[in-house]
A and B are shown apart, each in its own frame.
Chain A
Amino acid sequence: MRKEIRKRVVAVSLSTLSVATVLTACGGSTHESAPSTARSPSPASMPGNSMGGTATVVSLSGPHPAAQLRSALEMTLGDHVLLTVELMRDKLRPGPTGRTQAAVAAVSDNTKTLSDAMHQIYGARTAATFTTLWNAHVQQLSDYAVALAGHDTSGQRAANAQLHHIEGDLGTFLSTATEGRLTPAAARQAVTMHIQMLLAQADAYARGDYASAYEMETQGFDHMTAMADELASDIAAGKGVPTTELSLPSQQLQSALDRLFAEHMGVMVEAMRSAVDQSPDFASVGATLNANTAQLGAAIGALYGHAAADAFLNLWAQHVNALMAYANATATHDDAAKAAAQKSLADFVVKMAQFLGAATHLPAIQLTSALTQHDMHLTDQIDAYATGDFTKAASIAAAGYAHMFTLASTLATAIGDTVAARLPTGGAQTGGGGTAHR
């Protein structure tokens, strides 16, 4: 297998701040992994394409620096939740050493990404403080999961006590970093909520209450991306960058699509791995996947109406079902079923590209390439996972996660333009005779 050094860099250059925030997204440090890209499409077909080691550059020197900072923080902090959940659950269920190592490395890479961002915005000293605190909370969450798995109540209490201290310290840090825009109490409350959600999902998972575990994971992801939104606004404001753009409908649409597509990728990976592992949590992760699909459909419905939403969901279901069929076929080593699933995916790509092309006026070839790439991220990561190459699986999943943000950005811009063109125009004539004249 060909090995290559893969380094994905989201370079966030806040030119108006005279800083360059370098976010190495989803495993940004030098990451020894080998996503076999023999079947990979050309990486140049979508802007910022990140498959196979190409650099994803998000420049915040453009027209929407605050919005781009928000998107970058949504990506990295949202991924923190997904990866930490994966790490904690790895402790709760016996598995191969390689899986544990990959989970640890993925969280570590994510932390490095955040630390690099802090370094670029605030300097080395502040970044070092952040990294110490951030690593400590990850470590204690991991320790808590280990204690939980071992029915070690004193170990759980010890981890909880440490986390309680870290909540205060991290809250103080965030309040200081945002120059008080985030009050110490508010910052601590937010950090506490984040930690409590991660602990709660682990507790639920350990007792076999998978529905609650996935519910808490979803809430934790939403909460963290909301934190990202707030932090982006406060950081930008502290640096003198206008933040009014954050409330623009087009930017809010991108933020919404960021979260929906990122969650789709995260949950899809979990569902496919659950299928391969024949895990008892599948019913709950499947329900979570459907909840995400419902939200995507609702977004399309709000944009284009109910009929379009149904058409979208019909195609999206083909995508999800084919991927699950691929995972099931992988688990049973059924090559014919895998081929059938791949054929269905190829059919989906063509139809969805036509649908989105009509909805956005984006070129079909661009959409086809992006959708193919998305499917391949998911099928390639499960192939690697099933063969025990967990590092490669994590690397490909990370690339797929980052790719979702590129896709969301492209679609949000195109959708915003096309939808805006068909909305009612001008004011409504909702007055009759001037009796309310003033």
Chain B
Amino acid sequence: MTAPASVTRWWGYAGCAAVAVAVAACSSQPSTDVSAHTTTQRTAGASGFKSLDRLADAPAPRRIVIPAIAVDAPVVPLGVAADGTVQVPTRWGDVGWYDGGPRPGQPGPAVLLGHIDSKSGPAVFYKLRSLRAGDEVQVLRTDGSVVRFAVTRVARYPKARFPTADVYLPTLHPELRLVTCGGAFNFSTGHYVDNVIAYAVLRR
């Protein structure tokens, strides 16, 4: 079968077997910042109804923890560089969050980037390529909350064919993209030729 996204949604329901008796305990989607916000929007009557008119504020990411590869690092915001590429962290031990996209826990793909190495040794995402499906990624946020994701796959792409759409285009559910370098190192340019990307979805 194909269409893994739809399969994932479908089987998410299949786990909720006792639907008739456990309505409240069986949510169709992972708890997100959206649903948390809207639970406060209940209204008393038609004449007093007020539509939601602003997006829920999600806390910014503060720190990332990936137990499987011993990552426990601060998260800093990143933008777009003058050449159109995404900025990268200025410290080898930091992880950067592309703040032009959603925050971790909001619907959509939150993109986090970290270096694979420095000029003298391994950096924060040195072992990113060894992540396996199911490994947990925790994002600690400025309000003290933690959102947990599960890795679904890890892939490597030539930088010349970076999968921009797969990484940045929105999804309905909260997801993560963890990006670092990989493959061969081009000593003439001083850069790796590939990017390694780990994809993760909100853990149910």
User: CB-CB < 8 A to B143: which residues of A?
Assistant: none
The distance from the CB of B94 to the nearest CB of chain A, in whole angstroms, is 11
- Is residue A383 contacting chain B, with contact meaning CB distance below 8 A? no
- Is residue A411 contacting chain B, with contact meaning CB distance below 8 A? no
Q: Identify which of residues 333-375 in chain A touch chain B, using a CB-to-CB cut-off of 8 Å.
A: none
User: CB-CB < 8 A to A305: which residues of B?
Assistant: 100
**B108→A298 contact, CB < 8 A:** yes
Stretch from B68-76, B134-142, B144-152, B183-191 forming part of the interface with A: B183-191
User: CB-CB < 8 A to B9: which residues of A?
Assistant: 222, 226, 229
Alpha-carbon distance between A293 and B121 when the two chains are bound, in angstroms:
48
**A437→B184 contact, CB < 8 A:** yes
Alpha-carbon distance between A423 and B177 when the two chains are bound, in angstroms:
15
**B23→A212 contact, CB < 8 A:** yes
Contact of B88 among A246, A271, A293, A430 (CB under 8 A): A430
**A246→B125 contact, CB < 8 A:** no
Interface string of B71-112 (1 = CB under 8 A from A): 000000000100111101000100000101110001111000
The distance from the CB of A435 to the nearest CB of chain B, in whole angstroms, is 4
- Is residue A219 contacting chain B, with contact meaning CB distance below 8 A? yes
Most B CB contacts (10 A, CB to CB) among A196, A314, A423 go to A423
Alpha-carbon distance between A432 and B29 when the two chains are bound, in angstroms:
39
**B52→A290 contact, CB < 8 A:** yes
**B85→A275 contact, CB < 8 A:** no
**B46→A298 contact, CB < 8 A:** no
- Is residue A299 contacting chain B, with contact meaning CB distance below 8 A? yes
**A432→B118 contact, CB < 8 A:** yes
User: CB-CB < 8 A to A437: which residues of B?
Assistant: 184-185, 192
**B185→A287 contact, CB < 8 A:** no
Tell me if A's interface is mostly helix, strand, loop or mixed.
helix
- Is residue A59 contacting chain B, with contact meaning CB distance below 8 A? no
**B117→A432 contact, CB < 8 A:** yes
- Is residue A134 contacting chain B, with contact meaning CB distance below 8 A? no
**A249→B14 contact, CB < 8 A:** no
The distance from the CB of A115 to the nearest CB of chain B, in whole angstroms, is 23
The distance from the CB of A37 to the nearest CB of chain B, in whole angstroms, is 27
**B179→A428 contact, CB < 8 A:** yes
Alpha-carbon distance between A296 and B103 when the two chains are bound, in angstroms:
16
- Is residue A26 contacting chain B, with contact meaning CB distance below 8 A? no
**A434→B117 contact, CB < 8 A:** yes
The distance from the CB of A355 to the nearest CB of chain B, in whole angstroms, is 14
Contact of A433 among B54, B83, B86, B120 (CB under 8 A): B120
**B107→A302 contact, CB < 8 A:** yes
Q: Identify which of residues 233-265 in chain A touch chain B, using a CB-to-CB cut-off of 8 Å.
A: 233-234, 237, 243-244, 246-250, 252-253, 256, 259-260
Alpha-carbon distance between A426 and B113 when the two chains are bound, in angstroms:
14
**A428→B117 contact, CB < 8 A:** no
Alpha-carbon distance between A432 and B114 when the two chains are bound, in angstroms:
11
**B56→A294 contact, CB < 8 A:** yes
Q: Which residue of A lies closest to B101 (CB)?
A: A302
**A436→B117 contact, CB < 8 A:** yes
Q: A233-B3, A301-B55, A313-B52 are in contact. Are A226 and B13 (CB under 8 A)?
A: yes
Q: Identify which of residues 150-204 in chain B touch chain A, using a CB-to-CB cut-off of 8 Å.
A: 157-160, 162, 164-166, 168-172, 179-185, 187, 191-192, 194-195
Q: Which residue of B lies closest to A234 (CB)?
A: B1
Alpha-carbon distance between A295 and B42 when the two chains are bound, in angstroms:
15
User: CB-CB < 8 A to A420: which residues of B?
Assistant: 164-165, 169
- Is residue A135 contacting chain B, with contact meaning CB distance below 8 A? no
Interface string of A56-91 (1 = CB under 8 A from B): 000000000000000000000000000000000000
Alpha-carbon distance between A259 and B171 when the two chains are bound, in angstroms:
13
User: CB-CB < 8 A to A246: which residues of B?
Assistant: 2-3, 6
Contact of B53 among A250, A275, A313 (CB under 8 A): A313
Q: Which residue of A lies closest to B109 (CB)?
A: A302
Q: Residues of A with Cβ closer than 8 Å to B?
A: 181-182, 189-190, 193, 196-197, 199-200, 203-204, 211-212, 215-216, 218-219, 222-223, 226-227, 229-230, 232-234, 237, 243-244, 246-250, 252-253, 256, 259-260, 271, 274-275, 278, 282-284, 286-287, 289-291, 293-295, 297-299, 301-303, 305-306, 309-310, 313-314, 316-317, 319-321, 324, 327-328, 331, 416, 419-420, 423-438
9 examples of A-B residue contacts, CB within 8 angstroms:
A247-B3, A247-B4, A290-B41, A293-B51, A297-B54, A302-B170, A423-B169, A426-B164, A436-B181
